[in-house]
Structure 1
Amino acid sequence: MGDRRLLILDDDPMTGETIQRIAEFAGLEVYFTPDPDRFFALLHDWQPTHIALDLVMPTMDGMEVMARLAKLSCRAKIIITSGVGSRVLDAAGRSAAEHGLDIAGVLAKPFSPPQLREMLLGQISTAPPPPTVAIAPSEPPEITLTDLHRALDRQEFVLAYQPKVLCTTGELAGVEALVRWAHPSYGLLPPGRFIPLAESCDLIDPITDQVIDQALAWFGSLCVGATQLSPTTRDRLMLSVNISARTLTNSALFERVRERCEAHRVDPTRLIFELTETSAMDDPVASLDLLTRLRMIGFHLSIDDFGTGFSSMLQLVRLPFSEIKVDKSFVMTAMTSPESRTVVKFIVDLGHSLGLRCTAEGVEDAEILDYLNHIGCDLAQGYHIARPLSGQDFWPWLASRTYTIIRP
């Protein structure tokens, strides 16, 4: 598993020393400091794999520390500790996760040694490593319209594929295609670095065109070449692609997608367009028209990040979705937060009552996967199953995958 190093920031010496003893007994190298300046110096020099962070401190509170960690692109697994109420603690965990930090868990004081050990040892990922080209560690300069045009001309937009599996058996059920920009100078850039500009300057549709064509070509080869899967499993695999709200007005693009499906021998019924909850509700009248036509062609529609927006249930009922995705911020905290578990179960029950298939994102460990199976969630995706993989790296993951029944 490699060397594990825990860096503790806590203004209470007794708590810090307790965490230190538990972690050292579990086999970790540990350094404890109550000083934020010393903490950030050690972060740079010592490169910890884990961080235990107190939320309430006099000089720099935990929220400030986490905001700075996010700006530094910190990849350590973070355990948030505090004596504040569980709702505040859970909210801090969700905030950190939404900033891109890797949250191993939230730990209310007083806590038991087994709770801490589980977060330190149980969160060591057994998933395959990320794609060989990593997200660029340094922020590139401001992206310009010229940069995007050049990237389109050079076809620099590439895809990573994250598996979706059945909660009941762990069997592969599909993949979500996630766009990245293979920048020649700054490496692989996440969509948040370029999609907002592409949407604002009418380049989102050409990017979507390239992405879907690339995804369909790869998916077609998966459906034919994944001989280790049974014919039944191969025949039910689904491909999910994210769609911008701005694309919903471009009926010609979707007609081209139908033609590409035919060219790549992918039935339209195996393609899922994912829309965020808020974008799907921006113009419900226009959305109803186009989304209905897409469903008539055979495409499936998924409402993504459900639970994070403020749309009315009426609009959810009106629009012809076939899948609902539980936002990862609730899934990732479900085993430590009763409120998050309530939201997850509510969304799964709501989806099923409307005849929708339910997918949970952000599945980080076997415990949450077992819980999702227990409440009847259909599909799961997240780091416990696999990180987003390059098209080339997907095949070794599939070859090494063993399917086990979670419950008889």
Structure 2
Amino acid sequence: MNTEHYHLLSDVMAPEAQQESREILWERLQSALSASEFSLQYYPLWGKTGHLQGAEIQVRWHHPHYGLLQPAQFLSAVIQCDLAGALFGWIAAQSLPLLRRLRQEVYPDFYLSLTLPLSLAEQVDTFTVWRQALVAHDLPCSALALIWQGALGQNVEAAQLAGLRRVQQQGYAVALTEYGADYHLLTALPDLPLDHLYIPAALVALLPHPEAMLLVKLLLDLAEKMGIRCIAQGVDDIQRFECLSTAGCRHFQGAYLFRPMSAHQLLVMGRLLAESEDEAASRS
């Protein structure tokens, strides 16, 4: 089989996939890691006054045949072939030295987040590589927030719930971005092991529509009652920022202030903002 014309998803994910396919993907992934075909960007999370609070890790694969691949195009295949640990190890090696510097130089509680498919929550052993890397960099597990993306049923499956609880018990922050069709899962949120809630970008895009505002306020109220952070995604303009701020939101992500950036750009931006805040504090 020609590895350059190997179809990443359909061949590996098909029920009849052979061991040969998995071995080819393993070899291709190892080659991609050594050839620097993967890259990371960081999408800042910011507070009401614009100070940096954290950043979402965004991984991309610059595949020589298929071009730029988003995680949705390769992550499921990587997990199916039990290669998540290798990829996570590379992400940790790239991102955790940066995180340590950001916590030392910018904000002591700065954290990184990573979006993962909900199915992975049941495979807690996969996160051993993260735990070891965090310990090696003298960082707490709470410095990494895991954002679970996927369909939770009307009744959350026991295995999913147990997986989320184990992840949280290990010290990671747990977050959700999806709440089911018509937001039917909202009533179950207080029973879930969560540290963050997200106001989805699709909902933020509907602001200032009254029904969208009602849902936004409901999510903010739920987060407050649960004692957890509520973060608005897709805050791309001043109108939506002001709508969310008026509703009581204090944590944001979106192009209104910051777009995804490289590690160097994030560190420089963080330093500049920290220096500006220090100067403002000294004048007050």
Give the TM-score taking structure 1 as reference length.
0.56
1:200-239 matched pairs, under 5 angstroms:
200-224=80-104, 226=105, 229=106, 234-239=107-112
Check the 8 A contact 1:241/1:273 in 2, yes or no: yes
Structure 1 contact 272–302 (Cα < 8 Å) conserved: yes
Which blocks of at least 5 consecutive residues in structure 2 are unaligned? 13-23
Greater relative contact order structure (CA < 8 Å, 6+ sep)? 2
**Which residue does the alignment assign to 1:243?**
116
Return the offset for 1:187.
4.8
Task: Give the match for residue 382 of structure 1.
Answer: 254
Correspondence for 1:260 among 133, 141, 152: 133
Say if 2:144 is the partner of 1:301.
no
1:288 correspondence with 2:169 = no
Which digits, 9 at most, give the CA deviation of each residue in 1:286-328, with x for residues without a partner?
Answer: 2332322332332110112446675534542222101100110
Counterpart of 2:61 in 1: which secondary structure? strand
Question: What residue is the counterpart of 1:343 in the other structure?
Answer: 215
Report the more deviating stretch, 325-334 or 145-154: 145-154
SS at match of 1:235: coil
Give the unaligned 5+ runs of structure 1. 1-139
Aligned twin of 2:199: 326
| Helix, strand or coil at the partner of 1:243 | strand
1:273–1:301: 8 Å Cα contact kept in structure 2?
yes
Partner of 1:393: 265
Contact 2:85 2:129 in 1 (8 A): no
| Residues 206/301 of structure 1: CA separation in 2 closer, same or farther (3 Å cut) | same
1:161 counterpart = 2:51: no
Relative to structure 1, the CA distance from residue 388 to residue 193 in structure 2 (aligned partners, 3 Å threshold; closer, same or farther) is same
Aligned match for 2:233, one of 355, 358, 361: 361
**Structure exhibiting the larger radius of gyration computed from Cα positions:** 1
Q: Which residue of 1 aligns with 2:71?
A: 191
CA shift in 2, pair 1:186/1:277, >3 Å: closer
TM-score (normalizing by structure 2):
0.78
Equivalent residue of 2:43, what SS?
A: strand
Within 1, Cα distance between the matches of 2:180 and 2:230?
Answer: 13
Distance 1:186 1:282 in 2: 38
More helix by share: 2
Which of 61, 64, 68 in structure 2 is aligned with 1:181? 61
